[in-house]
Chains A and B, each alone.
Chain A
Amino acid sequence: MSMLRISESRFSVPIGLKREMRQQMRISSLALASLLLIAGAASVLAAGSEADFKAAYAAAEAADNEAGQLRDQWTTTAAALAAAKQAAGAGDFDQAIALSKQAEALARASIFQAQREKEAWKNSEIH
């Protein structure tokens, strides 16, 4: 998508976020690989349980609701939540957890945006 030439500073995402998301995915795929190796072992240490998903989803949903209170929810947050639920429904809890965490990150970014904009909007005002 072509970027508009806008004089305002670009929305800055905390730099660690992208790295964290990549780490999250790496951890997920590592977990999946080790799970395949330990054939048939239903251990309490197995990655991606339904309980883990429920916790991750609840956290994401709570953050999105907070964004809703601030009247700034993102459509991509909703899409990630829906995709997480769908993955969980299909039994893929690793994916569901990853998507829930993505949703939470998006929701937190939207909260950050809303809180920043509470004052920042004044900088754009025509006087």
Chain B
Amino acid sequence: MQSAIHFAAVALALLALAPARPAAAADTVDPLADARAFQNYFTGKFPNVKLEDFVNGPYSMNADMRRQWQEIEQFPPYEFALEAGKEMFTKPFKNGKTYADCFPNQGIGIRQNYPTFDEQEGKVITLELALNRCREANGETPLSYVKDDMAALTAYMAYTSRGKPFDIKIPDDPRAIAAYQNGKRYFYTRRGQLNFSCASCHVQAPGERIRAEVLAPALGILNAMPIYRSEWSGMGTVSRRFITCNSQTRGVPLNAQDDEYRDLEFYLSYLSNGLPISGPGARP
């Protein structure tokens, strides 16, 4: 016990010494300014990369990988999931209704609007969350959030939105601003024993390698979702990637649709407003 007490005392002392930020009355949050700064950061860092090309992740950073990817895209590995997704999407539930009944525009060409902020509930709704709610509202069992059927469905929906720019809206509602800010906080916060934040890799080191992987820039990083990852030998959603990223930094992951993950997705998607949806994608 003594060592633990000693450690706690040292920790507290170090905290006391840490420079305290002046407690701001209300740090004004300006998402639009954030988005501009974010885009300028990446276009400044990579002047030879076209803005819309950032959605291609590592392929916008490495010419050899790009060449291999372009070959793969002639016969993409997500093709099977895409076909399965279309079939699933159009097949009626046991009660006769379909997914089209739950979404605007029959669910076609709407992926770029997600996540949305639901002002009634006061929370961020991701496409996956909306899909499972649709299922449950129609007497069907919810799908796993990370892969297989859910990824097939979102693959199809993303495909119908290919080329459309991300169009995430933050309503004039303090809870929406708080969700956006929470996502931002999560993005920059170091976590896990390896002490990485999302920014450590995707802001400070895009285009560089971590072990054998080339890191993707944070700008446009969700535009290709869901993805077929060779590493997974299968499809994965945004949740799957957030979860595996956490484990890779030796942090215990959260649940697939926990507040922090949804808010993070909200934040990252908003920052990529204007960049085209490229999903479903293929990644190493």
Give the B-binding residues of A (Cβ under 8 A): 1-2, 4-8, 10-12, 14, 16-17, 20, 23-24, 55, 59, 63, 68, 71-76, 78, 101, 104-106, 108-117, 119-122, 124-127
The answer to whether B184 and A125 touch across the interface, beta carbons within 8 angstroms, is yes
| A4 close to B208 (CB less than 8 A) | yes
Interchain CB contact under 8 A, B7 and A20: yes
In the complex, besides A105-B3, A111-B11, 13 extra interface pairs with C-beta distance below 8 angstroms are A2-B210, A5-B208, A14-B14, A17-B10, A59-B1, A74-B250, A108-B7, A112-B15, A113-B190, A117-B189, A117-B191, A119-B21, A125-B184
- A106 to B210, alpha carbons, bound, how many Å? 24
Residue B191 contacts which of A16, A72, A125 (CB distance < 8 angstroms)? A72
A124 to chain B, nearest CB (A): 5
Is B171 in contact with chain A by the CB < 8 A criterion? Answer: no
Per a CB cutoff under 8 Å, which of A16, A59, A106, A124 touches B199? A124
Q: Does B188 contact A (CB under 8 A)?
A: yes
Identify whether the interface residues of A are mostly helix, strand, loop, or mixed. Answer: helix
Distance in angstroms between the alpha carbons of A74 and B184 in the assembled complex = 21
Which residues of chain A are within 8 angstroms of B38 by Cβ–Cβ distance?
Answer: 126
Interface centre among B8, B15, B200, B252 (most CB of A within 10 A): B252
Contact, CB under 8 Å: A6 / B204: yes
Q: Does B25 contact A (CB under 8 A)?
A: no
Q: A108: which of B4, B14, B203, B247 is its contact (CB, 8 Å)? A: B4
* B-side interface size class: 35 or more
Q: Which residues of B contact A124 (CB under 8 A)?
A: 188, 197, 199, 203
Q: Pick the residue among A2, A11, A74, A126 that contacts B41 (CB under 8 A).
A: A126
Interface: B94 (CB within 8 A): no
By a CB distance below 8 angstroms, the chain B residues around A110 are 193
B195/A113 in contact, CB under 8 A: yes
- Residues on A with beta carbons closer than 8 Å to the beta carbon of B184: 125
**A127 pairs with B37, CB closer than 8 A:** yes
| Contact between A11 and B205, CB atoms less than 8 A apart | no
CA distance A11 to B190 in the complex (A): 9
Contact A125 B14 (CB under 8 A): no
Q: Which of the residues A73, A104, A113 comes within 8 Å of B4, measured between beta carbons? A: A104
Q: Compute how far the CA of A85 lies from the CA of B187 in the bound complex, rounded to whole angstroms.
A: 34
Closest chain-B Cβ to A40's Cβ sits at a distance in Å of 29
Q: When chains A and B are docked, how far (Å) is the Cα of A18 from the Cα of B137?
A: 54
Residue contact A74 to B4, C-beta cutoff 8 Å: no
Please tell me if the beta carbons of A108 and B11 are within 8 angstroms of each other in the complex. Answer: yes
Instruction: Specify the chain B residue showing the minimal Cβ separation from A19.
Output: B3
